[in-house]
Chain A
């Protein structure tokens, strides 16, 4: 009896420590980021940080163009990936015949496993020239090219997670809805999608999160010019994201220099950005939902 209690305590302890260590690691990462990034606020005055010019060698540390570049490319990618991803998930889960589903689902998951550097390669060789010629632009390395590729990266995640969520909706719901005289589409829109809402939103969040954090592809295809995006035309010009900036410059920067601290400050902003995406999604998922409904989904 006593030994039983002991093993019980040990197992509980292990599970607990696994859970807390996740929180701890996030905390440590943030402390590290903060320690390396916060001096930048003192070393560079705010007017310089919120300048529109990023030219570190001359002492211009305006991060707004980088933030703008990230937002532009990410939102563009989201606009591409969410409709396509959702439509694909709905097709696979609700409409496709069984044999098509059994081919499509693994295929999409393989797609998600393609290394992003490879996609960047394809972007440079195929997509960028296409964009240049199709839109008659001086260069094909634009924010749009990055958005399309990032969208492609986010789609498999969105499809895979939302398809799982849609698939988990009991078949009986569909029967009940159809029995009340709903068409297939009405059933998908009014019953299946709302029932799978939290899973679908999680998929979108993970997909968009991956797009924000993606580095290699955007570095290769967006042209990397730190220009502040102004209006819709910015899509057809080169842009530079925060991740690409960190990746490109971190290797050449002197440890402890102003430039080094600013790069970490950009890291903090990225971290906060993905935190905001997470919190926003969570608040949508849990808003106005009663316990009973949450148990259900």
Chain B
């Protein structure tokens, strides 16, 4: 048996090595992706729809296990451990690698319960620290001021933008290390979008953030590093400033300048 050795991770939080994912309907969603994601920064995955960005995100916390995936090959090293290893504890992984979806999915319970749900599942008893965690995560998601007086209202009763920030706060309450965001602002108005982005800049100081933006503009605004995906392949990966001003690949340039997509 070949011993699989984790590559030197250095400062990279996540190292993706030769990752391919195929769905059971025959579509190959990702082909031989190699990507190193540094800690404490925002890494943006962008490109036209169907490029495999969401698949990549959902592979990082094994949420893709639930989809009709027929084959996943390659490695995803998180802190030197292979996430794709069948032995890997997905429950613990998902606590460590949180995700915010494109549409706000609040659970059918109160605002407070949405935040404490994950904690309770993790077996954390409420010895008085729940209130502080609720407050801290709402502050970090820039939502505290708006909901502080109605934490026990049903989460569905707040606006869409607030719900999305609640979803972000819910992830933060678990004190993860990596936050994945799949077009988190696609359903939001510009003001809410601004608030979410602002909290992302702040969060990037502490967390590793992987963001699929909903527009090239957002990609350019937020990216520390950016990866351009097209048809399941990684075309170009570079620092944000570089890829949006001086892309190396013709296809990246075409997309960034709005010639297609």
A residues adjacent to B (C-beta < 8 A): 170, 172-183, 186, 190-191, 194-195, 290, 292-293, 295-297
Contact = CB atoms under 8 A, between A and B. Distances in A.
A293 B108 contact: yes
A223 to B, nearest CB: 47
A194 to B, nearest CB: 6
Contacts of B156: 292-293, 295-296
Contacts of B160: none
- Between A172, A173, A178, the greatest number of chain B beta carbons within 10 A of the residue's beta carbon is seen for A178
A195 B156 CA distance: 12
B1 interface: no
Given A183-B91, A290-B157, A177 B63 contact: no
Nearest to A191: B107
B81 interface: no
B63 A182 contact: no
A173 B108 CA distance: 8
B147 to A, nearest CB: 14
Nearest to A295: B156
A181 B63 contact: no
A194 B66 contact: no
A293 to B, nearest CB: 5
Given A179-B61, A195-B108, 19 more contacts: A174-B66, A176-B101, A176-B105, A176-B107, A178-B63, A178-B66, A178-B94, A179-B94, A179-B99, A180-B117, A180-B118, A180-B174, A181-B121, A182-B91, A194-B109, A290-B153, A290-B157, A293-B108, A297-B108
B154 interface: yes
Interface of B: 61, 63, 66, 91-92, 94-95, 98-99, 101, 103, 105-109, 117-118, 121-122, 153-154, 156-157, 167, 170-171, 174
Nearest to A182: B121
A174 B66 CA distance: 10
Given A179-B61, A180-B118, A172 B101 contact: yes
A191 to B, nearest CB: 6
A90 to B, nearest CB: 17
Given A178-B66, A179-B94, A292-B157, A194 B108 contact: yes
A172 B105 contact: yes
A182 B61 CA distance: 13
12 contacts: A175-B63, A176-B107, A176-B167, A177-B107, A177-B117, A179-B61, A180-B98, A181-B91, A181-B122, A183-B91, A186-B121, A190-B121
